Structure 1
């Protein structure tokens, strides 16, 4: 039992697609199997001619929110069963839909839960459409929905007997002759020596550039003293990375550890971003530090989401039977999509965090001054007043205005 979660912006358009033939023409006999629109007669609105009214019944809480609603308020969950198992009846799929919404958008006993419907148009699957505006005027928090969906779908599949029996794994016995800890240290003589590990660790050390030696100090791997310290550190760090990837515990001398500060590695670049985040002294600096992560199109979060989604698709292309593993990557990608939705607009809010009071006052003063200047600039009286004063002449019979008399004599006290 696999669930695929998506978000949409147009309820009417989505319903028209679900009730139509589909992109491949494989959708037929669309029918409603369940739903709860808080009193709206959805059973009478599911004919193709009444789809706009059905969309309106789902969208009513969203329309009440107005501009406070999400840009993508439609929650779409497609649940499908194992193609190797028999199909479920409409009543069984309706129960699946109720259990799915019960752990996500419409928990049992919640009078203000989101409105939803469940419909079928293909064998072995059901589509659940909900709007994320609740009856009390709040928005449903969809952050953990993918996790809850995966857990509930596995529970349903187990109850239906669709989960295959877990194979018995035969693990190889660990080698007890050598420890699983490898120590790489720089010695006073200038050599770099690695001790510990088993045959696999020895192979990894040799591949990294260490040479095996068995002398007075026992078996070990070492780097020659003729190698420069920077090159020794690079080789030792590379060997430590390979050993850790093979699940060895590596005690690496700090003077040889170059991985944390390596600006060329992706991990090193993200560590530099983390340092900028921790060193931010204002909301604006924090927003600038987070920009490489949260950019909607080119940010790290978006690139990781795309990579996970591509990995799931590639797994499906390589092996159709590995759809459960592919869907795990799909769920991980959807977690990041939910995180992106949660942080939408955070950049502008961050720039208002920790703004000093005097800067806020200066900004308000500048705004008031700009508004006053704009009002004067657009006032007809303000534009005509100088011309009236410069070109006006006294009316007939009226004496010109006399200014104060000027005395050129020096002042006396």
Structure 2
């Protein structure tokens, strides 16, 4: 790992082995082997960026906000990591180098799977045995990236996994003979491979299919014996059907089924129902459902299905406008849509950070907090008396009640009274309890015992001589269910 810097120019120059220039062009088919998923929105197929333009692109972390940003008060927001192959290792293909870049960016917290607001980054390979990852720690939504506290250990562990996956030499094997190194080059992997058509379809990171599939497959090992629901028939055209082996469920068949389920959630149909005449939207995941609701669709929750429809009473032109806008918004963030021809569009709408996403970032701050003071400061955003989130929510409920009070429908006054009850009673109790928790944490002034910074100095009496971290190992997960706790003894019955 390199020291953080305020500009990408020096890091890119070190990765290239020469100064950054306004004359030398770098392409994604050569030197730039991996990059962040929204790069295509800035590049032009008819023009090659120079190395100076690549550095400027990484240095500018905002598309909408032109103001300078800092990462946790530090203006050095450029993250730089380089990895090298051992001279005895085989040469990696461009696809393998690309996979290395994506994996390092993911584990470092630079490009979390499925995160549409992750920061800008590129993986540069100009030398045959070296790869450099350059990233801006300010995300596209203006928030700082959540980098692991022990990021160097996390990256080192991922490098060991990459070496095992690609058949490379680990640091403990660097003393092997050249004959053994050549043998590794010709060794065929023994693991099963996905169907080529599946791998080709899932390789499009810009549409986030691979990101969603990765997130689901990380949990697949916990459910190897669980039955899987049948994949949705609404999948992109040309996508092959999963194999159905006659024997027990294998890891490969499970992986393909998981990928199918992931893709099924990325496809939505927006069509006019031939029976009711309503414009209905089916499919998608919670993120897609939020986009539909923000466009004006109404969720319909039934016992065996959930879908969305446009509000009743709209004329046909307004229905077409709202359905077309929903298609544009969904396609902007990478969803595939199957629509009536009248709703189809190539237009894209800017996708901005919602208020809910900004509030949800408070959970990220608490998750990374190391002291009670940090958590208390975050909870203050919720409990502040005048301008806290809960105080604002109370105001919203009262204002909505005032609107409903004289709207004219017989049930409106009752609905308004219900909103005032929620604001004055239910929300008041929640705010009071949360404020008590916040005040208690502010008075404690303590560090969390399991989140304290690692001293990175191993004691002299350490049993594991190769250990570089004194922190204890995580608790072992039991492989067999524990016996249920004995029921408390029943009280003696009173003799009558």
Give TM class, smaller chain. Answer: 0.3 to 0.5
Instruction: Provide TM-score, normalisation by structure 2.
Output: 0.30
Instruction: Provide TM-score, normalisation by structure 1.
Output: 0.35
